[in-house]
A and B are shown apart, each in its own frame.
Chain A
């Protein structure tokens, strides 16, 4: 059975591109676009890797990450954070909230693929 990635992102064309490259690499890609119920979706799907955007409608990616880290069911899940701002401050907040990897938009497809593979292998 192929490994599953849950992509939580609200930009449709980014969703399409990332889904395409990950699917082509053999991943099962599920997507979700709303922050408010993202934690529930993660717990339902139990993916192998989560890609989490910071700016989401309903709830910020940082808050979602903190909730995941405080939940014994899913606290070990590898999370790759995506943010559109590249300030050190954002990276710091993300790291403190407990992300495993961090990427600044615009990123390259190859980097995303490589990072997701590395996170799943952990």
Chain B
């Protein structure tokens, strides 16, 4: 089990926030200032009574010092490590690294994200060279013209006599073709220059969408009223994103508005007060399907819920189309998540609810309940297959003894420490045994 070595950093953060000097806090907790200094720099482990004393002295819950929201940061750092050579002995100290050098760690994580973005840009551009019909046609036109010029010019340049009539003909051909070449190269340069300005937005549209919700939050008061204008909200939130991302955004907002209409905010608050963040209670109360209930819960303001909930939606190919991660249950930014999640299992048995308590193996501390269902995306039509999409609501679950089995799941295979897993599709850099030595 990975040990949490960031407690010290959190103590330091809380102390600075409270405006306390190290010596003052040390005195209140009845320890020496130098010992507190070691703790704050994650050089000494801390637990038990001393942790409770320090929490008391700081006026915070002891739990808030031992649980942090760095999962996403750690996941990104592990991703970064997986890209290059990283000895096992150092790799396991990732939490210590993040704790002792928070700014360096943040910088590295940031670089890792930039590298991923750039990789995607390169892929997008390569795709474009191969598949852009306009570009392919222009290049073909230019190369054909160059070929004609070259052939004609070398006929004229080669030694030997050429009849004057042929000379004139090739001269004229070269003259015509060079004019064509000038035209086509000018239009190609123009096209590339225009494409350039577009290419600066080569973030995946899904990433941009995530960015919009990160900034605006998942609850949008502007969509909660009867007069809500989805297009106006989409235009407002989507002003800085690409057209593709705006398209995705509008689709999410249209659904949001339709859900909000069926489940007005005030009635939602009542339902939460009675049954907590239970999607089944929502479905029963509002007579709607379970997926709509899950989406509604994910878009409710955090302050009316007992705990914020996360949500992942994927289409039939397993590609995530909507992501609301939780601090302790991150969702991968690229590619698919852990195939063991109920989200994906639900795809195999549509309309059957899959619910499971999960521990993400990289973060043994946190437990979450995943409730998933795969539903048709549209109405049934005679003689036509329907398409399915899967929703998974992610609800934080208290850590206590339960009779229910707890499924160990991962985030993505590459950074999953699960040594033997039948679902593995990629070797992990966190498994010390065979796959790494391959």
Contact = CB atoms under 8 A, between A and B. Distances in A.
A3 B173 CA distance: 27
Interface size class, chain A: 10 to 19
Interface stretch (A11-19, A58-66, A114-122): A11-19
A106 B155 contact: no
Contact of A85 (B139, B154, B166): B139
Interface in A23-75: 55
A11 B166 CA distance: 18
Contacts of B173: 13, 16-17
Nearest to A55: B140
A110 B155 CA distance: 10
Indicate the member of A14, A17, A107, A109 with the most B CB atoms within 10 Å: A17
A109 B151 CA distance: 6
A109 B148 CA distance: 10
Contacts of B139: 84-85
B431 interface: no
A11 B148 contact: yes
A108 B146 contact: no
A13 B150 contact: no
A110 B154 CA distance: 9
A109 B156 CA distance: 11
A106 B166 contact: no
Contacts of B155: 17, 20-21, 109
A96 interface: no
Contacts of B151: 13-14, 17-18, 21, 106, 109
Interface residues of B, number: 20
Contact of B143 (A17, A21, A105, A110): A105
A6 to B, nearest CB: 18
B170 interface: yes
Interface in B18-64: none
B177 interface: yes
Interface in B170-194: 170, 173, 176-177
Given A16-B169, A20-B155, A11 B147 contact: yes
A66 B151 CA distance: 28
A89 to B, nearest CB: 8
A13 B152 contact: yes
A21 B155 CA distance: 8
Interface string B149-169: 011101100100000001001
B144 interface: yes
Interface string B254-272: 0000000000000000000
Given A17-B170, A107-B147, A85 B140 contact: yes
A14 B166 contact: no
B144 A14 contact: yes
Interface centre among B139, B146, B152 (most CB of A within 10 A): B152
Interface in A73-111: 84-85, 105-110
Nearest to B180: A13
Nearest to A20: B155
Interface of A: 11, 13-14, 16-18, 20-21, 55, 84-85, 105-110
Given A17-B151, A84-B139, A85-B143, 9 more contacts: A13-B152, A17-B152, A17-B170, A20-B155, A20-B166, A84-B140, A85-B136, A85-B140, A106-B146
16 contacts: A13-B173, A13-B176, A14-B144, A14-B151, A16-B170, A17-B148, A17-B155, A20-B155, A20-B166, A84-B143, A85-B139, A105-B147, A106-B143, A108-B154, A109-B154, A109-B158
